Amino acid sequence: MSSDSAVFLKLGSDPVTPGDVVGLADGRCRAMLDSDPTYLQRLDRGAQIVERQLAKGDALTGLLDGTHGRPDTAQGLMQRHATANEGWLTDRESAAVLAARIAVLARGYSGVRLEVLSLMCEMLNLRVLPRIPASTPGSSDGGLIPMSYVASTLTGRREVSYLGRIVLASQGLMAARLEAIELRPKEALAIMTGTSMACGLACLAWDRARRLSRFATALTAMAHDVTQGNPRHFDPRLDGLKPHDGPRVVAQWIRDDIEYAKRSSESPPFNDPGVLRCGPQLLGLLVDANRATADVLEVELSSVSDAPVVHPTTGELLVGGNSYGAHVAFALDGLKSAIAAVVGLLERLLALVCDPEVNRGLPRDLVADPEAGRPGFRPLRSTAAGLAAQARKHALPGTGFLTALGPEHDLPCPAQLSAIDSLRVLSIAETVAAIVALGMCQAVDLRDGQGCHRRANAMYGAVRQLVPTLTHDRAQDRDVTTVLELFRAGLLPLGKLA
């Protein structure tokens, strides 16, 4: 929901970051176009070039089917690509996609009129959000089909979500006191082409993965505490001997969480299992993969991903392959693989604290009353293991897996598929993390809080305000949902993010 206290984000020639897109999607920022006269003149020159071509009978849409210099209509272009039936993006996802497309079109190389960009900004700010299908067509420009629904809403056609209600686009625009606009064919094509659907979703994945890495680190620190782990495994001298950035960040988080500075003189005569010792290396992989994804997205969001490109200075129409999202797809394939690896780590941490052979005195499956013969956390362990298998399946790389359609010798791009799969893996990972958080809090109860440090105590306090200790058989689905909601609302004391 857009906030009255939101700050304005100027879109035009300035770079755009994934954090900017997330802020626009969440309503913490409002989109506004650069008001610099030089910039506005550049926009107008591009629009005039398109108008002159249209007057000559060239709609500039022939790139899609290999024909050039022919007439076409925006409505026909949008209608023939309205073929999706795979479910819909959420409002937040639609807002992110819309924000990403505005950022690219506002660069001024798309031949789009100022009034079109202004309407898109107002729709985003007032939460008149296009209903966008979660479609993953296998073409070099995977956004054509779902983004045709975005273009249609500007003309008052199809559906939007307005303040959380699904209404006709014409009704949503009217309720927000906005006027529909008739698009030129090239304007419709400019909205439909490019990598913005993949980029918008990828920005949300980046934001969620950033928070997941800290959540998983906090749970690793809790596992260390409840199994009475050896703090020497996180000796800072080890970081310098293998100085990848991500593992160094995670190791410092863990040292803060377990209050290492107060315990550096401890030297227990045992080594912890690899799932604890190697935590910084694996969790650090996610931190590094997420940073690499952010670097790719910053370039993509501040680029021109149209075809054809309208050069406002020379008047040329440049046709290339900027709409192909290879870098986005490759970055997301790496990100979702790292997320799936973290899911595996979390599932193993729960197995560790549930196993009396290695957990140093906790009852099997964290049963509060072993004499009662109840299964304790065994059902949740099974759930976590099943979800980990699902995460591995969705993490399979999309790059190079799709096949082209028809005789056009198209080159399929899986960027959208990789983005949607990344969000699926993240949803699984967050659920597994919630399950593991419940297990760690149960272990804190069974230890009576002894040996627990800063992060374990803070996490335990937040969870136990709403979820009681498991002392008897009860349905735990609501418990998992409660912790998941706390995490997604930012109410778990995870510590500082990267």
* pLDDT above 70: residue 136: no
- Whole-prediction pTM: 0.94
- Residues 31 and 99: beta-carbon distance below 8 Å: yes
The pLDDT-based confidence of 407 (bands split at 50, 70, 90) is very low
Q: Is there a contact between 201 and 97 (Cβ–Cβ < 8 Å)?
A: yes
Integer Cα distance of 496 and 479 in angstroms: 25
Phi, psi at 371, each rounded to 5°: -70, -20
85/348: higher pLDDT? 348
* Statement: residue 68 has pLDDT above 80: no
Q: Residue type at 427?
A: S
Write the burial class of residue 250 (CB in 10 Å: 0-12 exposed, 13-18 middle, 19+ buried): buried
pLDDT higher at 62 or 497: 497
The reported pLDDT for the residue numbered 175 is 97
Judge whether residue 379 has pLDDT over 60: yes
Q: What is the CATH code for 7-193?
A: 1.10.275.10
CB 79 within 8 A of CB 69: no
CATH 3.90.180.10 fits domain 202-488: no
Cα dihedral: 292, 293, 298, 301 (round 10): 160
- Per-residue confidence (pLDDT) for residue 392, from 0 to 100: 95
Q: Is the pLDDT of residue 372 over 90?
A: no
Give residue 73's pLDDT band: very low, low, confident or very high (50, 70, 90). Answer: confident
Nearest C-alpha neighbor of 11 from the set 89, 146, 150, 125: 125
Short-list 271, 264, 261, 260, CA closest to 229: 271
Spatial CA neighbour of 480 closest among 441, 426, 423: 441
- Out of 61-70, 175-184, 398-407, the most confident range is 175-184
Task: Evaluate if residue 40 carries a pLDDT over 80.
Answer: yes
Closest CA to 192 of 66, 333, 75, 23: 75
Residue 417 has pLDDT above 90, yes or no: no
Which helix (H) or strand (E) segment holds residue 58: the answer is none
Left (φ > 0), alpha (ψ -120 to 50) or beta: where does 235 sit? Answer: beta
Predicted confidence (pLDDT) at residue 399 exceeds the cutoff of 80: no
Residue 26 clears pLDDT 70, i.e. is over it? yes
Condensed to tens digits (0 to 9), the pLDDT of residues 146-173 reads 999 999 999 999 999 998 899 999 999 9
pLDDT at 66: 52
Average pLDDT of span 340-365: 96
> Can you tell me the distance from the alpha carbon of 204 to that of 201, in angstroms, rounded to the nearest whole number?
5
Give residue limits of the domains in the chain: 7-193, 202-488
Question: CA quadruple 427, 429, 433, 439: dihedral positive or negative?
Answer: positive
CA distance 216 to 184: 49
How would residue 281 be classed by pLDDT, with cut points 50, 70 and 90?
A: very high
Q: How far apart are CA 136 and CA 416, in angstroms?
A: 6
Q: How far is CA 399 from CA 419, 437, 487, in A?
A: 12, 34, 31
Measured torsion, CA atoms of residues 59, 60, 61, 63, in degrees rounded to the nearest 10: 150
Q: What pLDDT shows up at residue 385?
A: 97
Query: Residue 498 pLDDT > 90, yes or no?
Result: no
Question: What pLDDT was estimated at residue 234?
Answer: 94
Q: What does the mean pLDDT of the chain come to?
A: 91
Q: Taking residues 393-417, what's their average pLDDT?
A: 70
Q: What's the pLDDT score for residue 62?
A: 67
